[in-house]
Amino acid sequence: MSTQPVTSTARDVVRGVAPKLIDLSEKVLFGDVWERPGLSKRDRSFITVAALIATYRTDQLPGHLERALNNGVTREEIGEIITHLAFYAGWPAAMTAGTIARRIFDARKP
């Protein structure tokens, strides 16, 4: 599991508009917060995926689902997160998250 931030097209696009935002994301969020010893990267991924589903942040969800899988969160656990959140974040948010997760799962080898 890499400690380096994942470079994404979205980050590259935003870098041209708000370079300091990307600098802070890479140095503070991924360089410090994600590296703190109080939670494992797996736990941080679990929390982040749940927060993104609950707040309907569909643009950020695919990258963090990928990161979650890379950090050891299983497909089954992602399914459970989505199901659980249907009752707390709303059915549409959960259904959208399920659709996005399906796309991510299908694009990866089992």
Tokens of 85: 């959140």
Ranges in the chain annotated CATH 1.20.1290.10: 39-110
For residues 76-91, average pLDDT: 98
Average of per-residue pLDDT values in the chain = 92
State the average pLDDT over residues 5-16. 75
- The topology (CATH level 3) of 39-110 is AhpD-like (1.20.1290)
| pTM for the full predicted model | 0.86
What's residue 77's pLDDT?
Answer: 98
Beta strands of 1-110 (E only): which ranges?
none
**108: closest CA among 68, 50, 69?**
69
Q: How confident is the model at residue 109 (pLDDT cuts 50, 70, 90)?
A: confident
